[in-house]
Structure 1
């Protein structure tokens, strides 16, 4: 059997234990053994020119692969340099958990989004903000709709910038069709399914924040946009999110490296864990 690690931080595991345990439950069907490991149990070590990993204080044998659900690209990179196949790769983790980097790489390929400013508190000046209020401020590494705020004026902008924990953030114009988005689930180079998420009470449509969801069928133009993004990076399993303009056309929003699957299971008869395990089996 091929041995793999499933890496989570404890907080995320607490919210997603069922999904995580499905990997462990079904791994043997694909000639694999998967061990759950928390980030606070992992010690990345470098001695002379040798890289190794301690788990719970003991040196661990090198696994064949790791499923990195920690959002930590340093952990992923360490395992890759030890010769392990990591799902998603450290590059995907690094880029997709930084909204500024994600917008740079995706928008540079001609894919549209709302007007976006990439900012840093070290040199941020409000007189350089050439956006029309209301605007959206996002920390670069927030996920699940966290650390995303709508600002109606300059006073609110100054206050929120001063409260941010991270120096890097992005500012965006509010889309003309707020409270709705489309999430597209991607496994490898395959589009698995899409869902529409919406909220009548908030500009954020995240299902985890109380939004509603339903099946969504991509048209040919939308599918082409998704495939253009898929061609940029070697994804394993991600969610690509789009907001909508006033004519319901796709505007790129973000890519979730550690994508949640509640809406996928709710609306489709798809066992994404088994599909992911099959994908891993083919790529190790």
Structure 2
């Protein structure tokens, strides 16, 4: 079989070394596994619809990668690449399902996945202004104080706030009235602690417990501590169910500790960073992702080869 060539697509406006180090590491692992890859900024790929067809313009318009590792959240570009016939990991739909937290909870609710009580904020057009507060009165009645306010799009816990009273609530409503967000029950039993289970394919490959003594959020990026953790079978099953429902090939799934330490879903991250979990567990999650992708590609190529043999047997002139 000829060698497989791929792209690692990342956001071209990201300059942080913690991200670039990951992309370079992924490229190095691919090379060790016999996969040739290029690091490509998303804004170097110019998606054009011309004469009703999706095409690319720019320096890579003539290239045809066998696969694309898509480490960005520009789902419009990811979908464009899929329409062109490229195999994308994770898929555009999977990234969309996870990136929009409101959408994540709605999709999971179709399968009765346990999670905190959640209320989506109403849409406010930029030309309008909130002047009827009856909706927010109901939020207070349903959730009580404190409760969690999350922007629908955000990473590393940076767009998550703990609301203690009505003044704080209305201040955030004013500040975020044009920003998609939601309101969520505060799980007191999980204050300052959660667990992350990293899924690759149909396996939980690494897990850590995160904790903070100074913040209700446990994210390592906010100063939380991380330690290797052995999840229960029930916790693994919950994480795997979420991964399957949302259609991810790999993801970091964050669970909270409810009453009696029962696990409930906090968030699902399709492009979860891996530095903390690899450091505290000693498990090279990046390598496992590349192993999964290579196996998937070889399996699909074998299927296509078998189909071509069948077609030739039926019509040998083709």
Where does residue 83 of structure 1 map in the other structure? 85
Q: Which residue of structure 2 lines up, in the alignment, with residue 92 of structure 1? A: 94
Is 1:206 the counterpart of 2:208 in the alignment? no
Indicate whether 1:245 and 2:258 are aligned. yes
CA RMSD for the aligned pairs?
A: 1.8
Higher helix share: 2
What SS does structure 2 have at the residue aligned with 1:92? helix
Is structure 2 residue 73 aligned with structure 1 residue 71? yes
Partner of 1:103 in structure 2? Answer: 105
- Please name the residue that 2:205 is paired with: 192
Query: What TM-score, normalized to structure 1?
Result: 0.93
SS at match of 1:231: helix
Distance 1:73 1:47 in 2: 20
Cα offset, 1:223, TM superposition: 2.1
Distance 1:256 1:165, change over 3 A: farther
2:159 is equivalent to residue 156 of structure 1: no
Contact 2:197–2:236 (Cα < 8 Å) also in 1: no
- Cα offsets for 1:48-70 (capped at 9, x unmatched): 122122345x6342322111111
Give deviations 1:29-66, integer Å, cap 9, x for gaps: 3332111112232211110122122345x634232211
> Quick check: 1:195–1:264 contact (8 Å CA) kept in 2?
yes
Answer yes or no: is the 8 Å Cα contact 1:93–1:257 preserved in 2.
Answer: yes
Shift of 1:166: 4.8
Shift of 1:207: 0.5
Matched, 1:18 2:27: no
Number of residue-to-residue matches in the alignment: 283
Deviations 1:170-193 (A, max 9, x none): 101211221111100000111102
Give, in angstroms, the shift of residue 3 of structure 1: 1.8
The alpha carbon displacement at 1:165 in A equals 7.3
Q: CA–CA distance in 2 between the matches of 1:265 and 1:223?
A: 18
Q: Would you say the 8 A contact 1:62–1:82 is kept in 2?
A: no
Structure 2: tracts of 5 or more residues without a match: 125-129, 298-318
Deviates more, 1:209-218 or 1:157-166: 157-166
Q: How does 1:124-139 map to 2 (within 5 A)?
A: 125-129=135-139, 130-139=142-151
Cα separation, 1, equivalents of 2:175 and 2:102: 19
More strand by share: 1
Distance 1:121 1:158, change over 3 A: farther
TM-score (structure 2 length as normaliser): 0.84
Q: 1:70 to 1:55 in 2, by over 3 A?
A: farther
Conservation of the 8 A alpha-carbon contact between 1:42 and 1:54: yes
Greater Rg, structure 1 or structure 2? Answer: 2
Counterparts of 1:113 and 1:99, CA distance in 2: 12
Distance 1:71 1:184 in 2: 21
- Post-superposition CA distance 1:230-271 (Å, at most 9, x none): 331332110010111242211111101110112221122322
Change (3 A) 1:52 1:14: farther
User: In the alignment, what sits opposite 2:53?
Assistant: 50
Could you say which residue in structure 1 is the equivalent of 2:238?
225
